[in-house]
Amino acid sequence: MVERRKYHERLLAPVLDPLGAVIRLAQTQGEPDHVVYEGPEGWSFAAGPVAELRADRDGLVLTSEAGERSVGWTGRPLRQIPALLDTVPVEDWRVYGWAGFDIAAAKEGMFDLVGDDPFLHLMVPATEVRLHSTGTLLRALDADDLDTLEARLEAGTQAEFRAVPVDVSETDAEPYKRSVGRAVEAIREGRLQKVILSRVVPVEHPVDLIGTYGVGRRANTPARSFLLSLGGVKATGFSPETVVEVTSDGLVTTQPLAGTRARTGDGAVDTALKAELLADSKEIFEHAISVKVAYDELVELCGEASVEVPEFMVVRERGTVQHLASSVRGQLVGGDGAWDAFAALFPAVTASGVPKPAAYRVIRELESSERGLYSGAVLTFDSGGGLDAALVLRTVFQQDGRTWLRAGAGIVEQSRPERELTETCEKMASVATYIVPLGA
């Protein structure tokens, strides 16, 4: 039997600039696999996997010092994730990683829509830094690594980054508008009520993801943010909403955003756009049906008595756009846990459609490439049962030598192709404005 290992810990004073601190940690990280995650309590940095959980169309596989364990796609495999992770010979773990869009079809048994690539990758890190307003917690399985982490935190100031905006207005514009028209036809035929269609904009030069994260995060107002390099998948983004949040005592919250107008930086113009957003019947309908789906999903999971909508159709400012936003929450019952909540709410209705299974098919028919991480989640999950999953939007992606941006818009029967194209540009600007070329 493999002996269970404990994290050595060291508590330091809060840092004045936690964003700058995680950027320094990412810049000086010797191993390629690491994750930066900005959650509700602050920033975290994790690196050096000692155990990894992956999923593809064949099932889930956990690899650790204790060996390999696997689970197939029968029954409720996501529910078995905590039990799999509990076999890792590490105490008091927190995993970091990502979940791709293909989990949506896999958990529904729609394997004809699932690609060949992995669509879930979580890691238990060897080292971890949690930067909160009350203090900085260093954690390491090897005690000597605490000194290394502290030294890296105290290193000199980070380099200055220079962003060069990327034009997103023309690439794939006409094909995208045609796809919007075809989606409206599908809605009028009764196949579905709403679908989110996205478009891809390649970035033709090498990009410094760490620099882009630094410049972009200082300019954005996200619900969550992240920077990751894990298993060959690299991304940095400024998430406008969470897919699901689950506390250790089973309170589940989801925050659907749907309905969009630009933010220009001109107060008078933005106020007028906000009023227009709140009065637009198409945007209100798109938002309302998204909230209804999230509510129904939580009722099925938590029971009607505990589900509530504490916020409905407020306006949230997220970088270069403003959205209609609501919050839906409920209390888990009957032995369900965080991954039951994740399975019920993933993918976010605001990144898929209504009803979801029909939307998966229309997305596959009308989009030019598989989504991969786009509209999936970057997440943390801990041994106490808490889970926090950020929706992967407003993101720059890197994989296999390619770099690209991607954004979508919610299509309903009243949608107009030109307006939906404009909306994708408004959303992509939250990232495209802050792209840092490699070496700049």
Q: Which residues are catalytically annotated?
A: 241
Phi, psi of 428 (to 5 degrees): -60, -25
| Conformation bin of residue 413: beta by default, left when phi > 0, alpha when psi is -120 to 50 | alpha
SS (H, E, C) the chain: CCCCECCEEEEECCCCCHHHHHHHHHHCCCCCCEEEEEECCEEEEEEEEEEEEEEECCEEEEEECCEEEEECCCCCHHHHHHHHHCCCCECCCEEEEEECCCHHHHHCCCHHHCCCCCCEEEEEEEEEEEEECCEEEEEECCCHHHHHHHHHHCCCCCCCCCCCCCCCCCCCHHHHHHHHHHHHHHHHCCCCCEEEEEEEEECCCCECHHHHHHHHHHHCCCCEEEEEEECCEEEEEEECCEEEEECCCCEEEECCEEEEEECCCCHHHHHHHHHHHHHCHHHHHHHHHHHHHHHHHHHHHHCHHHCEEEEEEEEEEECCEEEEEEEEEEECCCCCCHHHHHHHHCCCHHHCEECHHHHHHHHHHHCCCCCCCCCCEEEEEECCCCEEEEECCCEEEEECCEEEEEEEEEECCCCCHHHHHHHHHHHHHHHHCCCCECCC
Q: How wide is the angle at C-alpha 291 spanned by C-alphas 372 and 313, nearest 5°? A: 110
User: Can you tell me the distance from the alpha carbon of 163 to that of 81, in angstroms, rounded to the nearest whole number?
Assistant: 40
